[in-house]
Amino acid sequence: MSEQKKKPSLHTVLTPSLLDLYEVNDSIVVIIDVFRATSTMATALYNGASKIIPVDSAELCIEMGKQTGGITAGERDGKIIPGLSYGNSPSEYPRSFIENKTLVITTTNGTKLLHMALKQGAKEVITGSFPNLSKVVRFLKEQNANIILGCSGWKNRFNIEDTLFAGAVIEEIKDQFTIHCDSSYMANNLYNMHKADMPNYIKTLTHWHRLAAYGLEEDMLYCISKDVAPSLPIFKNGSLIDLK
């Protein structure tokens, strides 16, 4: 009989408020903010952005924009934040615009979770979204490390779209990990229940209604499209870069 190797663990953290209940410091943390931060990040890097600097306030965004000569981006309530230049929509970052540029971006939930994961000593931090699902899956399979799938949620509350993405990742990698985590079981369950009908299902979610009020339906349909922006955003020296 061959020797049985101990599998690394996988946990899903449903909102940033719950992160400190988990052992972050020896884990790879996947930051998930499906509508729309991590979908936009994957897209900008796939389209050739040299790097993305995620910051947690508009003030810092302006400051870092000046320091780096980067493009500043951020929205609140569906509008570009005064003092910044662009919004949070993936459609704003085609190759013709973003290639070889630095994007300094502030977002409500995803950036916050990313900084929490760094502060708690994550081994690596990457970002995940449906547009770069397969790249995330491949990376996680290669690492042989404990994993935390971190859902950004909405103002610390649970949301379904981030959980669905966690469930999609779990579906692809569950055989390689020890999973003793009800959040992960639920996420995987929910994903399998709805994967065949995602475009209709997401129209029932709270976040859909909030963003649809700003006319962002197309954005959201893009954000649940698999592998349309296959980059691998990984945090190195203060920025997200495409690991490729």
Q: How far is CA 89 from CA 19, 36, 108, 115, 208, in A?
A: 27, 7, 13, 21, 14
67 binds its own copies (CB under 8 A): no
Q: Does 23 bind its own copies (CB under 8 A)?
A: no
Residue 21 contacts its own copies per CB under 8 A: yes
Among residues 79, 95, 119, 180, the one that binds its own copies under rule CB under 8 A? 180
Token pair 């780096």 in the structure block, residue: 68
Q: Please check whether residue 64 is in contact with residue 55, taking contact to mean a CB–CB distance below 8 angstroms.
A: yes
What is the Cα–Cα distance from 197 to 32, expressed in whole angstroms? 21
Binding piece for its own copies, criterion CB under 8 A, among 50-58, 64-72, 127-135, 188-196: 188-196
Sheet with 79-80, strands from edge to edge, namely 10-13, 146-151, 27-32, 124-128, 233-236, 239-242, 51-55, 102-106, 71-76, 79-80
186 binds its own copies (CB under 8 A): yes
Least distance in angstroms from the C-beta of 49 to its own copies:
31
User: CB of 137 within 8 A of CB of 81?
Assistant: no
Q: CB of 39: closest distance to its own copies in angstroms? A: 18
Does residue number 36 form part of the binding site for its own copies (CB under 8 A)? Answer: no
Kindly state the number of chain residues that form the binding site for its own copies, as judged by CB under 8 A: 27
Among 27, 163, 231, 239, binds its own copies (CB under 8 A): 163
- Could you give the CA distance from residue 100 to residue 74 in angstroms, rounded to a whole number? 20
* 7 interacts with its own copies by CB under 8 A: no
Task: Tell me which of 15, 27, 106, 109 binds its own copies, using CB under 8 A.
Answer: 15
239 DSSP β-pair partners: 236
| CB atoms closer than 10 angstroms to residue 198 | 18
Q: How far is the CB of 151 from its own copies (least distance, A)?
A: 11
Q: Return the residue of 7, 138, 141, 155 that touches its own copies, per CB under 8 A.
A: 155
| 203 scored as a contact of its own copies (CB under 8 A) | no
Residues in contact with its own copies by CB under 8 A are: 14-15, 17-18, 21, 154-160, 163, 180-183, 185-186, 189-190, 193, 204-207, 209
